Every structure is written in C-alpha cells, then in structure tokens.
Structure 1
Amino acid sequence: MQPAFEQMGLALSEVSFVVVDLETTGGAPGAHAITEIGAVRVRAGQVLSEMGTLVNPGAVIPPQITLLTGITNAMVAGAPMVAQALERFLGWAGLDEPGTVLVAHNARFDVGHLRAAARELGLRWPEPVVVDTLALARRAWSRAEVPNHRLATLSSFVGSPTRPTHRALDDARATVDVLHAALEELATLGVTHVEDLATASDPVPAARRAKSRLADGLPSTPGVYEFVSSTGEVLYVGSAVDLRRRVRSYFTAAERRTRVAQMLDTTVDVRVIPTPTEVEARVRELRLIDELDPVVNRHSRHPRRRPWLRLAGGAQPRLVSTTLLGTEEVSCAVGPFASRSALRDAQRAAESVLRLRSWDGHGAAGLAPQQEPAQQAELARRALSGECDVVAAPLLERVAALAAAERFEEAGLWTARLRSFLEASRRAEAVRPLLACPHLVAARRREGGGWELVAVRWGRLAGSAVTPPGADPRPAVTALRSTAQAVQRPERVGQATSVEETLLLAEWVLEDGARLVEVGAEDPAAEAVGAQMDVCAALTWPVGAAARHQRVLRAEG
C-alpha cells in the first residue's frame, strides 16, 4: 500500500510499527470471525507496549480450529465481543497517527479481517500504511536460504526466542523478530524509509536500490536535482516539491522508464538546488535543461527553437512559420508549436477558412468565400489575435456537415487540425499578458498558512518568496520588489527567457487561486495611471478565446 503523504521520507528508525496477529473461527471476514487479537508496538527495535485479548465472535468455533489454536468456545464465552475488542485495539494502536505503520505476516488475511469487521460494525477504519512481513521475507531471503516463508520457519531462521503457537500475541511477537531481521537484511538494498517499504518486494536490482543513499541528507524542500555521472556530466534534471522524497523514489520499482533506469545505473552523485517555492524549482528546471541539454531529458529541450505561426506582410497575405518572433508581433501570432507537423495542421486549418491558398474544393461547406487581400489580411489578423471563432466556427460547421454525410475520417482530420490551431491560440493567449508586462507580483495561499509570492518581469521569473503563517505579507512584497532580478524589455520572444517558462508562470499567476498584488512598473510610484491600465487590460482574455472550445481541446486525437 502507498504511504501517506506526511509519512513520505520518514526513516524507519522513526516509525512506530504496530505488529498484529489474529486468530479466527475460519469463517469469512466480518463481525463474527475474530477469536483473538494480539499486537506489539515497536520503534527503533524496542518494544514499547503489547496488547492481547480473547474475543467472543458470537459464533461457534469449529472443532478443527480449536484443535489448531487451542481456543475453545468456553474460553471466549466471557471475553469481549468483537465490537468491544476491536474498539480497544484501534484506540491502543493509533493507526491514524503520523509515523505509524501496521504490520502482519500475510497481511491480506489479518488486515482483511480487521477492515471487514470494522466496516460491518460501523467503526472507522483509518486505512493505515500496511507492511506484509511475508512479502518482505520473500525479498530478503531466497528459497536457497529458507525452505519456505511460513512464520514458524522464519522465526526459527532469524533466531526468535518466541515460537509461533497459533496464539495471537505469541505470533505477533515472533512477527516482530522477523520484521526486524528482514529490515536489517533489506537495509543493504536501500530499504531505509517508509516509502521504500511499498516497493521493497519489487524486483529492483540491488545495486540500483542501494543508490537510494544518494538521497540521504537532501533537504525536504522544493528545488531542482541533477543526476551526475562519474565524468561529471549532468545526465538528467528534474524538480520536486520535496527533494529527498523525489530523489529516493527513483531507486524503487515506481520508476519504470527504461532510459531513466539505465541512467540510474551510471549515476554516482545527485546535486540539488533548494528553492523557496515549487514554481521557482520548475522554472530553474526548465532553464537548466535549456542550458545543459541533458541526454535523458526528452521534454523541454530546445524551447527557443519552437515555431510560431504569423501573418506575413505584402500584397498577398499569407501565413508563415518562424522561430524568431518580435515581441510586438506576438499580439498577432499563435504558438509556440510542439512540432512542425502540429504547425502545419494549424496552418492548413486557418488557411482553409481564410482562403489564403487555392484548394481542391472538397468539403468546402461552411468556409468563407474568396475576399479581397485587405479583407483577408484583416480577417487573418483577427484570427491570430484571439478571435478564434473566425477559424473555429466555420470549421465546426464543416466537421458537422462531413459527419452528417458519414465522411467520418475527413471529419476527424479537420477536427485534429482545428485542435492544433486552438491549442496554439490558447498558448499565445496565456503568454501575451506576461510578455507585455514590465513587472507583476502575484500571491497564492500556502496549504499550511502564509503566502507564496512570485515576481514576473517581461515573462521571466524575477524572484520568489514565502511568508510564514500569520505574518503580514506586505513587507515581503516590498522586499521581493527590491531584490527581484532586473529584466530588460526583450526585442523578440524567447530573448529574456523561454516561452515555456512564461507559459508555466502564466499557469501559476493567471489561474484561479492566485491574487495579483502589483501590476505595472518595477517602481509603482513611478508608473502612470494610464500605463497601469494598459497593462491590466492586457491581463484579460478576448471573448472568442480558445478556451471556449473545450470540447475540441479535450477530444482524443
């Protein structure tokens, strides 16, 4: 089972293990099956407390079960009923307390009975982190070392002073010794934290799992990490909310990417750059990938080479692709595109409506008639400046007509072309406001209280900060304004920073949950009211924005 969020990164020496064993009637899990509960709480190898009780199941114990366990109907006649015993166990165990893990040998049986009984009796089951010593033992010791992985065999193998007797508390004590021996064995394979337990039985090469120690000592803060080879080459760059937890996760079976797994085998070091906020970590990740071009990073590479679609001047208007777009031109362009093929699809969608090329005439329903060059240019400017309906409305009519004629393949082709145009338009709509803004400070509430603050200048992250819970954020805003990086107004898109960074910031700054604190010049006192209004006007979306067409944008390709 996956560990709870607050327990990720918790060292096993800090964990309270509640080791439990049940005896039952042999019947199906539920409120009338449990005949005995035994449990031991341990931490750092030391027994903290024990609990044991017989349980009246409210049902007859079959003779064969009595023969196995020694528990008779007479023995449980005066014992607590299942509801009372289970309430006592849950109160003692504290399974919803941070840092507590439930352990059993063949946990599916014991935990299944506990969960089913709690559900049937209307008791709250806390869904704790569960560790199965049977699975751990199978990973720790092969059949060449032990003939089987039964509790009696394992307890003898590890030298436990307690022999399992099919009585709950004795079996729980034996399970404690098996747990400690298995964890000691698996520690050499890098199983040292709670999150490692979830994948300890997975087939991860021992040498790779052992490298999880590279995460030891890393801070549990946001930041950027770099996997480094023996020659000092940066192989991979990533960002994380919790650096230690994220780096450790690479050395478990949770990591299934072949290229990354191969990279881990050649990694000898992990370098990190802590950051105050997650958004700064993600921005630094983009910048480092752009700068270092790591061999394993597939995404976010060469962001400055991605093309845009713009209107070319001249007597005959036409759409052209470019990777060099002036900042004044971004107001009448869409992009950037992830690929040349996506650009070609969007270009064909727009040109088919705007009649900027000659067509074969197939499926012309819903398209605008041929117009004068000046009219074509004006229509194209509107389509590329945020009025997506200029292209979307006629194409949607065309798709509907093709579908009605059962020409589904053609309808799907034009839908895909329209989607490429709308996706590029949506990206352009997101970056335009920030690319036109000399200074902006935005804030978001932190989950635990306080604020995250970011300063953005000409589409580039200029600084970030956090405030503690309950503190007045205004001094932090003033400090951020004065310490933020000075950014010169760029002459072309991608000069101050990559568009990918600006898109990331737009998502953070302009979506629900963010508050705009300052908008305008770096020095608000020097900003004319009219100029501030111009910038604020840029932070709006046109009525015909791409977001209106969610049905097309969300459709499967």
Structure 2
Amino acid sequence: MTALPSQPTFDDLGTPLSQVQFCVVDLETTGGGVDDKVTEVGAVKVAGGEVLGEFQTLVNPSTHIPPLIAVLTGITDTMVAGAPRLASVLPSFLEFAAGCVLVAHNASFDVGFLKRACAGLDYAWPNPPVIDTVALARQALLRDEVRNHKLATLAQHFHAETAPNHRALTDARATVTVLHGLLERVGNLGVHTVEDLLEFTRRVSPQRRAKRTWATGLPASPGVYWFVADGRDAAGQTRRQVLYVGKSRNLRARVRSYFTAAETRPRIDEMVRVATGVEHLTCNSELEAEVLELRLIAAHSPRYNRRSKYPERQLWLKLTREPYPRLSIVRRCLPDGADYFGPFARRGTAEAVQAALYDAFPIRQCTARLSAKRPSDSCMLGELGRCCAPCELAVTPEEYAEVVRQVWAGLTRDIRPVLRAARGRLTGLVAQQRFEDAATITDRLTTFARSTLRHHRVASLAGCPQIVAACRDRGDWEIHVIRYGRLAGAARARPGDVAQAVARAAVAAAEQVRRPPGPQPAATVEETERIAAWLERPGVRLIEIDGEWSWPLHVGLADGELARHALGTARV
C-alpha cells in the first residue's frame, strides 16, 4: 500500500499545451457528401500562441463545382483548372502537419476527407490526436454566451481579426483565434496538457480528471489495485469499503486510465465518482497479480466487480461407494473413499456429462440403496436395456463392478468409447432428418469432452505436492511455487541474480499447503485454471516437480476427432 500524493510529477502531467504544435486545418470541397472532392486546403501551424507557418493551395477536383458551392466559396472551375491534383497536394500537407495535433472546426468533416484521401491514394494515415473546436466550445462555453457554435459566431465572440468567409486559409486563421480563446477558457478549469484537452472534449468531468493524481507514484510494474471509499457503519465507526479490485501489468498506466475518456463503462464511472482513494500491492509476476486479484475479490466481494454470485460453489460428479455404485451430483468432495469427477460451474453441465455416460453404459440411474443379496423392484430402464438391473440381481456384483470400471475409465482415461457409443443413435437420427435431436446429443458429447479436459487440468495440479517453474519476462525470470494447485510463492530473478538460488529462496518462503480431498485443488478452481494456463505457455521451464503433472492422451478431444469417433460417416 502507498500514501496518495497530492501533486503529480511532471512526467505524470502529460505534454503541456504551451509545448504542443497545433496544425489548424480547413478544407473546401465540392459538397458535403463522402463522394465529393476537395477544392482547397488551408492550414496554420501554431505553438505557444505564435504562428509557425501557413499552408494553402487550390486543388483540381477533376469534376464540376456546383454553382451553389461556387457562390458560397468563390471557387470556380476556372480557378482550379490549373491547380494540382490532390495526389500531389496530400504529401506536402502531411509533411507540413507531421508531429502536430490536428485542429479543425467540425473535425469529423475535414479529417474524414483527409483519411479517405490517404486510403484512396495509398498513403499511411499518421493518426494524430485531433481536437474539434466545435466539441471544445460546447464543453467550455455556457449556453448564454453564444447563440450557436458556428465558426463565424465563435470568431466574433473571441474578436478574431480574420472573419471566416468559406475559404480554407481564411477559415483556418479564424479557427486559430477560436482555439486560443478556448484554451484560455479551459485553462481555468484545470486543463493544462494535451491529454487533459482531449479528455475535456470527450466530456470527462473535472472531478474525475482531478483524481488522476491518485496514480502518481504507483510503479510501472505488475500488481493489484483496489478503489476504496470511506464511510461509517451502523455504530458510527469509520469503515473503509473496497469498491473494486483489479490487476495490471503496469499499475500506474492502468490506474491512470480510469480518469480518462478511455474508460467508458457506466458502472466504473459511478465507482470512480464514489471512491475516495486507491491502494495497491506490487507483485513479482502477472500470474501472482491475477491470483491475488481473485483472492481479494473473494475476500471483499466488491460491489463493482462483475462475478458470479457464488463463485466458490462447485459441483462434482460422484461415483458412490456401495454394493452397486451410482453417479450422483454433489456440492463437495469429501474424504469418504468415493471417486469424484469435476468440477462443474453449472448443474446443466454436470447433468450433460451424466447423461452422456448413461447413454454409453448401463449403470443404474436410480437413487435407492440396493442389496447385493435381496432383489427389489425394477424400473422401466431395465426393461429397455438401458440399465443392467442390479435391483433384480440380474448381474453379479463382479459384473456390475466391470460396468463401473468402464464408466470411470470413460471419464478418466479414454473418452472414445463414450463417443463411439452414440454413433448408432446419431446415425439413425440423421437418417430420419431429426437434426435438432442429433444436435442435442452432439452438444452433450462436446460438453462431456471439454469437461474431461477441465477435470484433468485441475486434478493433475491438485495432486502435485509441489511444482517449481520459471518463465522469461523481459530479461527477468518469473518463478512460481505451486502446491496442490495453489500458488504458494512467487519471485523474480533479475539480471545478475542466480535464478536457482532465487527459486530455492522462494520455495523456503512459500506458503505451507495441506493436501485437499479428492481431485479438488487447495485453491479455487479459477485460481488453479489460471495457474494451469501459465504452466502451459510456451517457454515455461520446470525447475522441480514433486508428483506427476500429466493427463491421459484421449481426453478433451478436438472437434474433428469428436466427429470422427462419435458420428462416423453421419453428418449433423
């Protein structure tokens, strides 16, 4: 955590307006449509209130100028007959405006013509910052100061020496006066840099811009940040509430972005207005920042973070321990000797996997407790051949155990038998043109395949007492210690450090983690999946591993393999 300074440093302020070169441009065209042509270009380059240069030329549009436009601008076909084409004018203008902030009155019109001209003539558009004096005037001037925001009205309001007359250079000169008048006005509102000016034209409130100083002093390194608000609880005691938690590779840049026009989310805009400060914690790596973000969100439940209502709730498919085991959807893994498969974020996903297994194997679907010695009433599934009817003692416990073994193998070792079991039914549905029913089964099998991959990614890490791995990051080595699927420690070896020594120190300082029951990790599933994604990145090197981090070959098959095994020659 860090104290919040009251004043920003020079680097944090941005580019002062007094040091910015503005290129104020105006175009005259044959009309206002996108297919019309440019007839004149005028521009004035200014900096610090001084004129640095001017650019003006007529342009031959290679088309007739309508009489109404000729009367309005005074530019006729005769005047432009000997003028250069836009293909010759455009490179000269781009060179004149290079490195400048473009300014225009109703900038979307003028800049739009320039961008389309660059695209049509195969010139690279430099993508400069653009200031629209219309938008700036609407923000800076009160309604009772000017009757409208036309260039002539604003030029008169700011006592321009040059009155606009629909000629490019004249109008550009008038726009320069308007620009300087508006800059003087917004300077009193705390707009002192070109970044402030751009935000001001995009309607970023002064109150929001003023909070940008909260980012001052934050490091340009990975970490987590959280916005807070001071308030009082029911007993009248001061209480600090966490409003929002985030993580970033560059804390300073990310936090600053909340006070600019780049942040457009209404909920976050509300959060920034309510917040009274920002706190942060630096991390050794992006992965550590991701994990810490998840843990802080779980601990504080900030109201402005979007997340599932109960992310800690997971579902599992349990293969029970009884004379005739069955598949049951449960909420917890217990150390009861049963086999567990999952996790599932939604019941619908767990039920789809369960249904895929019921389609492939005649394991019982009832919930009654069955005896291996006394028969009980049977159900319709036994008569249909979809259950081997252990309730009637139609199979011995040993024969039923083989069915259970096949079910568990289909979940944990090779999913291809489950996929192939659906082939006949799918082929029949396609032949009957029952494509919606066939698509339902295909979606179920796809869910099944994806769930097996997720299970093994999580369970393989959950079963490893320790993994120490490293990855290059901009010349440094990010080192992580993972225990039972939980990030237990992180360190960074910088140039000159002995990476192995840093890794040994990270292991010694790492959190002690108890082995969890079943395939459940010692962290949230989301944290373990983030760790798995990092470990699977190219360039990650294993330094040490205690246990076995692997999963079977035939799980989580690709879509093409799914079709080949489940559909055969059928097409849905």
1:542 alignment partner, one of 542, 552, 557: 552
| CA deviation map 1:256-279 (0-9, x unaligned) | 656545444422222222334332
- CA–CA distance in structure 2, aligned partners of residues 518 and 120 of structure 1: 55
Q: Which of residues 387, 394, 416 in structure 1 aligns to 2:414?
A: 387
1:274 lines up with 2:282 in the alignment: yes
Give the 3-state SS of the residue equivalent to 1:123 in structure 2. Answer: coil
Partner of 1:84: 88
Paired residue for 2:293, among 277, 285, 288?
285
**C-alpha distance in structure 1 between counterparts of 2:51 and 2:344, whole Å:** 60
Secondary structure at 1:440's aligned position in 2?
strand
Check if 1:442 corresponds to 2:470.
Answer: yes
The offset of 1:516, in angstroms, is 1.9
> What residue is the counterpart of 1:225 in the other structure?
225
Instruction: Pick closer, same or farther for the CA change 1:424–1:58 going to 2, 3 Å.
Output: closer
Structure 2 distance, partners of 1:256, 1:148, is 28
Measured in 1, the distance between the counterparts of 2:223 and 2:196 equals: 22
Determine if contact 1:224/1:281 at 8 Å carries over to the other structure. yes
Question: Which deviations, in whole Å up to 9, do the C-alpha atoms of 1:27-85 show, x marking residues without a partner?
Answer: 5667962422314254xx55584341314426466665555445567766776543332
Q: Provide the C-alpha distance between the structure 2 equivalents of 1:550 and 1:195, rounded to a whole number of angstroms.
A: 50
Contact 2:364-2:387 within 8 A present in 1 as well: no
Contact 1:228 1:235 in 2 (8 A): yes
Question: 1:457 maps to what in 2?
Answer: 482
Q: 1:336 aligns with which of 343, 346, 350?
A: 343
The one of 531, 536, 539 aligned to 1:514:
539
Q: Which amino acid letter does the alignment assign opposite residue 50 of structure 1?
A: G
Worse-matched range after superposition: 198-207 or 348-357: 198-207
Taking structure 1 as reference, are residues 339 and 26 closer, same or farther at Cα in structure 2, changes over 3 Å only? same
Aligned partner of 1:3 in structure 2 is: none
Of the three residues 223, 239, 263, the one matched with 2:247 is: 239
Q: What is the aligned partner in structure 1 of residue 568 from structure 2?
A: none
**Aligned partner (choices 339, 356, 377) of residue 363 of structure 2:** 356
Q: Does 1:125 align with 2:117?
A: no
Paired amino acid for 1:338: A
The higher radius of gyration belongs to 2
* AA partner of residue 454 (structure 2): R
Is residue 112 from structure 1 mapped to residue 112 from structure 2 by the alignment? Answer: yes
Q: Partners of 1:149 and 1:397 in 2: how far apart?
A: 73
Give the aligned residue type for 2:147.
P
Name the CA shift for 1:426/1:113 in 2 (closer, same or farther; >3 Å): same
Change (3 A) 1:374 1:233: same
C-alpha distance 126-355 of structure 1, shift in aligned 2 (>3 A): farther
Q: Is the 8 A contact 1:17 1:103 kept in 2?
A: no
Distance 1:36 1:395, change over 3 A: same
Distance change (3 Å), C-alpha of 1:257 and 1:334: farther
In the alignment, the residues of structure 1 paired with residue 345 and residue 265 of structure 2 have an alpha-carbon distance, to the nearest angstrom, of 22
The reply to whether residue 52 of structure 1 matches residue 55 of structure 2 is yes
1:453: Cα distance to partner?
2.0
Give the RMSD, CA atoms, in angstroms: 4.3
Q: In structure 1, how many angstroms separate the alpha carbons of the residues matched to 2:274 and 2:440? A: 44
CA distance in 1, matches of 2:38, 2:174: 23
CA distance in 1, matches of 2:317, 2:254: 38
Q: Which structure 1 residue ranges, 5 or more long, are not aligned?
A: 1-8, 522-533
**Equivalent in the alignment of 2:505:** 482
Residue 407 of structure 1: how far off its partner (Å):
4.4
Distance 1:552 1:177 in 2: 69
Aligned AA (1:90): L
Closer, same or farther: CA 160–315 of 1 in aligned 2, 3 Å: farther
Q: Is the 8 A contact 1:308 1:333 kept in 2?
A: yes
1:443 partner amino acid: C
SS of structure 1 residue aligned to 2:410: helix
- 8 Å contact from structure 1 (residues 190, 212) kept in 2: no
TM-score, scaled relative to structure 2: 0.74
Q: 1:465 to 1:256 in 2, by over 3 A?
A: same
Rounded to whole Å, the distance in 1 between the matches of 2:162 and 2:114 is 24
Partners of 2:209 and 2:430 in 1: how far apart? 54
Could you tell me which residue of structure 2 aligns to residue 37 of structure 1?
Answer: 42
For 1:508, give the aligned amino acid.
Answer: W
Name the stretch that deviates more: 431-440 or 198-207: 198-207
Q: Does 1:345 align with 2:352?
A: yes
User: For 1:12 and 1:68, how far apart are their aligned partners in 2?
Assistant: 39
Alignment map for 1:122-521 (pairs within 5 Å): 122-141=122-141, 143-158=143-158, 163-179=163-179, 182=182, 211=211, 214-215=214-215, 217-231=217-231, 232-250=240-258, 259-299=267-307, 303-325=311-333, 333-358=340-365, 372-395=399-422, 398-399=425-426, 401-408=428-435, 410-437=437-464, 438-444=466-472, 446=473, 449-451=474-476, 453-458=478-483, 459-464=485-490, 475-476=498-499, 478-484=501-507, 485-488=509-512, 490-492=514-516, 496-511=522-537, 513-520=538-545
Query: Partners of 2:357 and 2:191 in 1: how far apart?
Result: 56
CA contact (8 A) 1:41 1:47 kept: yes
- State whether residues 40 and 172 of structure 1, in contact with CA within 8 Å, keep that contact through their aligned partners in structure 2: no
AA at the equivalent of 1:492:
P
Give a deviation string over 1:167-201, Cα, whole Å, max 9, x none.
Answer: 43443344345446556766888878877777756
Contact 2:25/2:102 (8 A) holds in 1: no
**Contact 1:368–1:394 (CA under 8 A) maintained in structure 2:** no
Amino acid at match of 1:94: A
Deviates more, 1:295-304 or 1:108-117: 295-304
Per-residue CA deviation, residues 314-339 of structure 1 (Å, 9 max, x unaligned), is 22122234554479999x64322223
Aligned-partner SS, 2:304:
coil
Q: Measure, in 2, the Cα distance between the counterparts of 1:514 and 1:501.
A: 21
Change (3 A) 1:409 1:455: same
Equivalenced residues, count: 514
Q: Distance in 2 between matches of 1:488 and 1:153?
A: 72
- Decide whether the 8 Å contact of 1:204 with 1:252 is kept in 2: yes
CA distance in 1, matches of 2:172, 2:220: 34
Q: Structure 2: which amino acid aligns with 1:286?
A: L
Write the distance in 1 (CA, Å) between the matches of 2:130 and 2:321. 67
Counterparts of 1:185 and 1:420, CA distance in 2: 61
Deviations 1:448-469 (A, max 9, x none): x53552413222334455677x
Shift of 1:504: 0.5
CA distance in 1, matches of 2:194, 2:429: 56
Report if the CA contact (8 A) 1:319-1:347 is conserved. Answer: yes
Whole-angstrom CA distance in 2 between matches of 1:517 and 1:379: 34
Q: How far, CA to CA, are the matches of 2:302 and 2:244 in structure 1?
A: 5
TM-score normalized by the length of structure 1: 0.76
- Alignment gaps of 5+ in structure 2: 1-11, 232-239, 366-378, 390-394, 564-572
Task: Answer whether contact 1:34 1:113 (CA < 8 A) is retained.
Answer: no
> Which of 13, 18, 22 in structure 1 is aligned with 2:16?
13
2:208–2:259: 8 Å Cα contact kept in structure 1? yes
Change (3 A) 1:101 1:10: farther
Distance 1:194 1:23, change over 3 A: closer
Q: Report what 2:28 is aligned to.
A: 24
SS at match of 1:92: helix
CA distance in 2 between counterparts of 1:425 and 1:249 reads 40
